Structure 1
Amino acid sequence: MKKKTDLKTTPTLIAASVIAMAAATTQAKELEEVIVISQKVAREQSTQDIPTSVMTFNEGMLKDAFSVDLVDVGKMVANAELNNVGTYASYPNFFIRGMGVNGSTRTNDPKVGIFVDGVYLGYNAGALASTFDLEAVEVLRGPQGTLLGRNVTGGAVLLKTKRPGDEFAAQVEVEAGNYNALTFNGSIEGPISDSVNGKLAIIKADRDGFFEDNNGGTVDTSINPAGMPETGTGDKVGMDLLILRPIVSWQATEDLNLTLIGEYQKNDAGSANSQNVAHNCVPIPGVDNRDIVCGEGSQFLAQTSFGYQPPEDKYDINHDLIGYTEVETKSLTLDANWNLDHGVVTTIAGWRDVEYNSSTDFDGTPFTIFHFNDNKETQDQTSLEVRYSSTFSDNFDFVVGVNYFDQEYTIGERRNFFVTLNAATFSETQHSTLGVFGEMNWSITDALTLTAGARWTKEDKEIDIGILGTCELDFSACDNVVSNQKDWDDISPKIAVSYHINEDTMLYASYTRGFASGVFNARATTLDGIGPTDPETVDSYEAGFKSTFWDGRARFNLAYYLAEYDDLILFVNNPDENSGASLINFNAGEAEISGWEAELSLQPTTGLRLDASVGTVDPEYTDIQFFDANQDGVVDPADNALAKTWDFQKTPELSYNIMGTYDFGLSSGGSIITRVAYSWRDDYMTDLYNKHWLQQEAFGLLDASLAYVNPEGNLRVAVFGKNLNDEEFFDYAADVGTLDSARWGGMPRTYGMRISYAF
């Protein structure tokens, strides 16, 4: 067994080593002010001035962290798990404060919303893309229903693209690393005319997969019903990413600016890396699976029935389907701002088109036990938001607006189940929402500010679905098409009070209500399973303290939160004799989640910067109404009593990160910059039934980099490493009905060199 890193001492060693480097330095400058991008008000606001828990990363912070995508950003935020689902490449599964969607059923709306340049992404495929040329990434923890809308009961992640300037500029980054990684990032910008500026950003990234697929293993071929087909070998999950992002900004008049942002993205990522889990445990619904002793029963597993033994190496897999993932997205965003004497009118119009095709070996064995082969998905969305924000007076500002969102998506899934069954399902979902919102800030005194707002939401969903097994394998027709429609409306209020003890210290308390619409089930195997569920609501309370001290060289923020969920929407895979496994959506009842979050930033000396954040999550089901665990039409109260004690999915009770950056000024000019970062996640359950063989053990990731910057500041040569302690972890795990258990995801030690030059 691999020896684990000494996780208790690692953070202390990191902090000590970074502080030691700065022993002889001079007095430091103040910490830079970080401006939020989520509040939609007419004036700029610092993260230190808003009554909510938020972390914003500007362009410099993203570059210093060698962030590639939002997964890297998540490592810098406590109480946030910004990971890929694992079963499908380039598809997020975000959790914040214990709230998220643990799975890949597309009709299950995410509970952490992703917004790009003010546009909500209704279909998250491709949303993990590059952080190159972003002005800022912001992570908001907790419900954000007033300004950002429905389905953000866990939180929100906002991305803002860097706008073109009025002077010629260009930058180039070239990066090479292990796993044959090669990345080229470049941008060029400048004036096109006296009133028009333009920009083009290009991202091209290639990398082999971390997992080597050998299409083999120890098997008893005499009882292998599928044979050992010659499908070749390969690696999973790789990257072949291209992003083109043209931007045109037109200063039409002194007061009117229009920016048009286009993006084309294509990513051939390869198939998912399902890794079969060797065990002989019996998953029992309604039983505390945390205490089951494996070996007392038997499952119809590849290793017990076919003599298969999964590889011991974390990054070796044996599949009989190489598979693929092909993602293509196109988008246009118009951001128009009309500056009036008394306020600003903002219009954000968005369009996005997605094609997502995939084929994946779900069981993780060299047998055709359970495959999702040749799936086809499309999505088309349009949105429009018009808002007016005004700093009405020195002590009063507000924003009011209306938002409309519409999307249509189709999902075609095929399942290969023990070779003989090759079934298909096809669904088409139409979904529209209308929201009217407003929020105001009233400075009652110089120290005391009242914030109040609300959002009214009207939502409509309609699904046409061909039940699994009734559709042609090419999705051309279905024998049994069922239609269902449901609409909901909701009012979500917010109220907050902030009190400035002095210019640099603020206390705040807030109440926010969040709303998530009911969901249909695109993987339903019965008519009753289509849904929809009832909506989910949450009442969230937060109290916090934000401070800047030590002559502006230190910040400390502390927050306590309590979220009470009603009609909590959960999802679970249950055994199904016709399809191997069927997804069930249900309203689980009530839950309560509470915890603490703290962030500390220090600039103790010139060149030295220390950052740390820590978060705790304490979730519990307070009044659970569970589904029929034994599928016999009877809900056993004993099952519900036991389920109240179960841990939440993908929710570590403790998470933290610590980062140290030291800028060594050279006597000849230029500098050497070192950075060390460590992030930690407590152990957590990955499934609803708390099966201990699918539990993720606690782990910590160590990253480091060393960079040279020339005297002019426009050339940087750096070497970097991620997960240098080579910790083994995974992103997702599940039982495939009663067939097999598998894990997905995880990233080994990676390292490389990056050279960047700005003209």
Structure 2
Amino acid sequence: MTNLRQSALAMAIVGSCLAPTINAEALSGKALSLEEVLVTAEKREESLQNTPISILAFSAEKLSRFGVTDLGDISGLAPNVEITPFPVSRSSLIVFMRGVGNNDSQSTQDPAVGVYLDGIYMARSIGLTSDVADLERIEVLRGPQGTLYGRNTTGGAINLITAKPSDEAGLSQTLSRGNRSYWKSLTKIESGKVGDVAAKLTFMRSAHDGWVDNTGSGRNFGAEDKSAGRFALRWDVSDTMSVDYAYDFSDIDGPQQFYQPISGTSPNPAAPAKSGRYSSGQWFGGVEPSETEISGHSLIVTMDTSVGVFKSITAYRELNESIVQDYAAGAPGFRVNGGVDQEQISQEFQLVGNYGSDINYVMGLYYFSEEDNEIETDTFGGFPLENRQIISESEAQAIYGQVTWSPESFDHRLDITLGGRYTTDDRKANKTSITFVNGPQAASESWSHFNPSLTMDFAWTDTLSTYGKVVSAYKSGGFNVRSTEAGFQPPFDEENIMSYEIGLKSTWLDRRISFNAAAFHAEYTDMQLQQITNNATIFLTDVFNVGEAEIDGFEFDLMAVLIEGLTLQASYGYTDADFIEFIDQRPGQATFGQDVSDRAVMPYAPEQSFTVGLDYETPISVGVLQASLDYSWRDERYGTAFNDDLQGFFLDDNGVVNARLAITEIGVGEASLEVAAWGRNLDSEEYKVHSISLGAYRSAYFGEPKSYGVDVTLRF
């Protein structure tokens, strides 16, 4: 289906559903109005409708209905947001927003979309598919967030917010079963408030079989065992001071996904190139498992003072991963063995307050430190191609502030916000490699940057506001883990983005409809991009600051109560991302030093994406009936910007249908029972999750076919 037809389809669905609602008489009452959504995107709790950011928020109830347990699950729910696993490690995610991101995962190159767990920056994309055992909310902030969130948010930011201990004691147990031997157990225990202290313990175990049968030795491809837990403790020291401590962990164990040849000359005649999804296959020598372990501690102290709310956020996190991935589909071919050990500590001080009735402010100090040890061995038919180790350290400090003036002369309807952040980055790395003929290399570099922002927001009525903003952000430089010997030094430099955005926030018909929209133009300079300098050595890539790009687009998010109990949700995103300059920096190529922007494409930037969903809820004799149906669509996109064989990195357009039916609040003595049946990818859409060029042939792995199951939850 063409892009034009997909756009027309999205508009037609929204229009047909919305038309009778707009013409209906405005009705009041909870059943015919949308609930207010509170977010903390600007470091203070406020209504989503009053926050001048293009933001999507998913509550715990929505996360449950959509079956979201980790960051990767929201990929289809947020237009203009692309989230896909990294090829070597399925626990690592490639995250792009509005065409801005990083299509690699390495310890010395930072992502362009910041991910935060309870305000704590997650430096590595490894492990982002780990289950967070007890999420309260996910906030997706589209567009640069350089002031309040800082470095490495040139694309945007994602906040994962966990549920805090309750004042009331409680226990809940969820058991799930599904096809492909899927099972899950989720236990939540609330101590309730005992004196000044409340605690919460959450523990989750799950497992499923893979959807590609392994005809050789070992488990099926994609089979997975997960465990995750979280202990949270809250101490209300006084009326003005509280202390929150949390410990969380997550483990993922199982073989990687099955890469199959999709075109070219396959290394295995028994597994020829095939455009569709294989149902079975094998690795030469048998399947080896991969494992990811993540854990972290956090201590958050919050205190009300005469000048505002002071908060101290202290955190320590570590991850360990060992992976094995094979791209040859049963023949002696290209195989990767790798491992990463990472530790990070961070400290942030925040002050959020008001000065009179006209001014509010946010200010803070930030410190971050990280140590990494990354190893990788690449072989072809058992012959070693690469054996490398990179030991690296990084450190960052920042000071930031944001002041909003709401003059009384405009009846506090005009907000003018000025912000800025100054950041310094220090990074050093030591690399050894069997491809380095002159021995190990060691290097260090420092960067610093100031990022200002300006936002003007005007509330025309209590339910209609518009905003305009100019925001800058930068991503720090670094050293390339996968480099050739010549490409390790000098380091690649920082990249920068300047974004211009106008937006609308509105609610209509006594909160029966909300409609938010944003249009943006971004100028992207000194872009960091990987280039394969030689297709004969695809395991070596160099990172260059290749040039400039411009990105234009818009998105809207609609929610509407169509009739009592029936709610429509629709989101649409459009992105037009183009290189303005792309200097080919591959030595020995005919186009070396030339501008090849006419041959390059912006990676992971589908032109159109949308999601449409219906939620229905009504009381019945035994409880409450809930039903949901959603459909998400992504246009075609490429996984890399410039290569001699772009088709090897091409992903087709695709749409996925999900549904859920539940009966909740079933009385069982003193307890409450919930039973839910769910299905994902109900039409078994065949779509490539990731594809890669391997010289003579192209390889890819496909998404999960239809899955279904039942959840049973008992709450006391």
Q: How many Å separate the matches in 2 of 1:497 and 1:116? A: 29
Helix, strand or coil at the partner of 2:488: helix
Helix, strand or coil at the partner of 1:148: coil
1:687 to 2:664 alignment:
no
Contact 1:89/1:270, CA 8 A, preserved across alignment: no
Helix, strand or coil at the partner of 1:626: coil
Contact 2:610/2:633, CA 8 A, preserved across alignment: yes
Q: How many Å separate the matches in 1 of 2:711 and 2:18? A: 22
Helix, strand or coil at the partner of 2:147: helix
> Corresponding residue for 1:297?
none
Q: Which moved more, 1:459-468 or 1:690-699?
A: 690-699
Letter in 2 for 1:170: L
> Corresponding residue for 2:143?
142
> Corresponding residue for 1:661?
615
Q: Which moved more, 1:160-169 or 1:99-108?
A: 99-108
> Corresponding residue for 1:704?
659
Q: Which moved more, 1:67-76 or 1:609-618?
A: 67-76
> Corresponding residue for 1:294?
none
> Corresponding residue for 1:260?
245
1:632 to 2:584 alignment:
no
1:651 to 2:637 alignment:
no
Q: How many Å separate the matches in 2 of 1:385 and 1:658? A: 38
> Corresponding residue for 1:207?
208
> Corresponding residue for 1:314?
278
Q: 1:325 to 1:7 in 2, by over 3 A?
A: farther
Deviation at residue 10 of structure 1 after TM alignment: 9.7
Deviation at residue 692 of structure 1 after TM alignment: 3.0
Q: How many Å separate the matches in 1 of 2:543 and 2:272? A: 33
Map 1:492-507; keep pairs closer than 5 Å: 492-507=451-466
> Corresponding residue for 1:461?
427
1:448 is aligned, of 403, 414, 418, to: 414
> Corresponding residue for 2:292?
327
Helix, strand or coil at the partner of 1:71: helix
Structure with greater strand share of residues = 2
Helix, strand or coil at the partner of 1:731: strand
Contact 1:715/1:755, CA 8 A, preserved across alignment: yes
Structure 2's unaligned 5+ residue stretches are none
Q: How many Å separate the matches in 1 of 2:405 and 2:190? A: 40
1:534 to 2:493 alignment:
yes
1:559 to 2:523 alignment:
no
> Corresponding residue for 1:298?
none
Contact 2:80/2:609, CA 8 A, preserved across alignment: yes
Letter in 2 for 1:369: G
> Corresponding residue for 2:312?
347
Q: 1:387 to 1:6 in 2, by over 3 A?
A: closer
Map 1:172-211; keep pairs closer than 5 Å: 172-191=173-192, 193-211=194-212
Deviation at residue 368 of structure 1 after TM alignment: 2.4
Q: 1:18 to 1:177 in 2, by over 3 A?
A: farther
> Corresponding residue for 2:32?
29
> Corresponding residue for 2:562?
604
Q: 1:263 to 1:610 in 2, by over 3 A?
A: same
> Corresponding residue for 2:714?
757
Q: How many Å separate the matches in 2 of 1:108 and 1:714? A: 48
Deviation at residue 367 of structure 1 after TM alignment: 2.1
Deviation at residue 633 of structure 1 after TM alignment: 6.6
Helix, strand or coil at the partner of 1:235: coil
Contact 1:412/1:425, CA 8 A, preserved across alignment: yes
Helix, strand or coil at the partner of 2:72: helix
Q: How many Å separate the matches in 1 of 2:7 and 2:187? A: 38
Letter in 2 for 1:674: A
Contact 2:132/2:228, CA 8 A, preserved across alignment: no
Helix, strand or coil at the partner of 2:637: coil
Q: How many Å separate the matches in 2 of 1:253 and 1:125? A: 39
1:338 is aligned, of 290, 303, 309, to: 303
Q: How many Å separate the matches in 2 of 1:563 and 1:648? A: 13
Q: Which moved more, 1:105-114 or 1:406-415?
A: 105-114
Letter in 2 for 1:632: G
Contact 1:310/1:318, CA 8 A, preserved across alignment: no
Contact 2:105/2:125, CA 8 A, preserved across alignment: no
1:274 is aligned, of 252, 259, 284, to: 259
> Corresponding residue for 2:534?
575
Map 1:28-107; keep pairs closer than 5 Å: 28-41=31-44, 44-107=45-108
Q: How many Å separate the matches in 1 of 2:678 and 2:9? A: 22
1:744 is aligned, of 701, 711, 714, to: 701
1:725 is aligned, of 667, 677, 683, to: 683
Q: 1:240 to 1:711 in 2, by over 3 A?
A: closer
1:249 to 2:234 alignment:
yes
Deviation at residue 538 of structure 1 after TM alignment: 0.5
Q: Which moved more, 1:526-535 or 1:309-318?
A: 309-318
Q: How many Å separate the matches in 2 of 1:515 and 1:581? A: 28
Q: How many Å separate the matches in 2 of 1:435 and 1:310? A: 51
Q: How many Å separate the matches in 2 of 1:411 and 1:166? A: 44
CA deviation digits over 1:85-114, x for unaligned, max 9? 243121111111111111333322111111
Q: 1:93 to 1:571 in 2, by over 3 A?
A: same
Deviation at residue 310 of structure 1 after TM alignment: 4.2
Deviation at residue 406 of structure 1 after TM alignment: 0.3
Helix, strand or coil at the partner of 1:88: coil
Q: 1:554 to 1:16 in 2, by over 3 A?
A: closer
Map 1:293-442; keep pairs closer than 5 Å: 301-302=266-267, 308-310=271-273, 313-320=277-284, 321-361=286-326, 363-373=327-337, 375-421=338-384, 423-442=386-405
Q: How many Å separate the matches in 1 of 2:346 and 2:696? A: 42
Q: How many Å separate the matches in 1 of 2:149 and 2:405? A: 21
2:576 is aligned, of 613, 618, 621, to: 618
Helix, strand or coil at the partner of 1:552: coil
Map 1:666-677; keep pairs closer than 5 Å: 666=620, 668-677=621-630
Deviation at residue 125 of structure 1 after TM alignment: 1.7
CA deviation digits over 1:362-416, x for unaligned, max 9? x23222221112x221000000000111122222110111000000001010111
Q: How many Å separate the matches in 1 of 2:397 and 2:452? A: 16
Letter in 1 for 2:674: R
1:678 to 2:631 alignment:
yes
What RMSD in Å do the two structures reach over aligned CA positions? 2.6
Letter in 1 for 2:512: R
- What is the percentage of aligned positions where both structures have the same residue? 26
Q: How many Å separate the matches in 2 of 1:583 and 1:385? A: 35
Helix, strand or coil at the partner of 2:603: coil
Map 1:111-122; keep pairs closer than 5 Å: 111-122=112-123
Q: How many Å separate the matches in 2 of 1:329 and 1:376? A: 13
1:487 to 2:487 alignment:
no
Q: How many Å separate the matches in 2 of 1:14 and 1:594? A: 23
Q: How many Å separate the matches in 2 of 1:491 and 1:11? A: 40
Q: How many Å separate the matches in 2 of 1:733 and 1:663? A: 40
Helix, strand or coil at the partner of 1:176: strand
Q: How many Å separate the matches in 2 of 1:539 and 1:26? A: 43
Q: Number of paired residues?
A: 697
Q: 1:714 to 1:576 in 2, by over 3 A?
A: same
> Corresponding residue for 1:286?
none
Structure 1's unaligned 5+ residue stretches are 216-231, 281-300, 472-478
Q: How many Å separate the matches in 2 of 1:315 and 1:512? A: 47
Deviation at residue 196 of structure 1 after TM alignment: 0.8
Contact 1:372/1:416, CA 8 A, preserved across alignment: yes
Deviation at residue 448 of structure 1 after TM alignment: 0.9
Helix, strand or coil at the partner of 1:236: coil
Deviation at residue 56 of structure 1 after TM alignment: 1.1
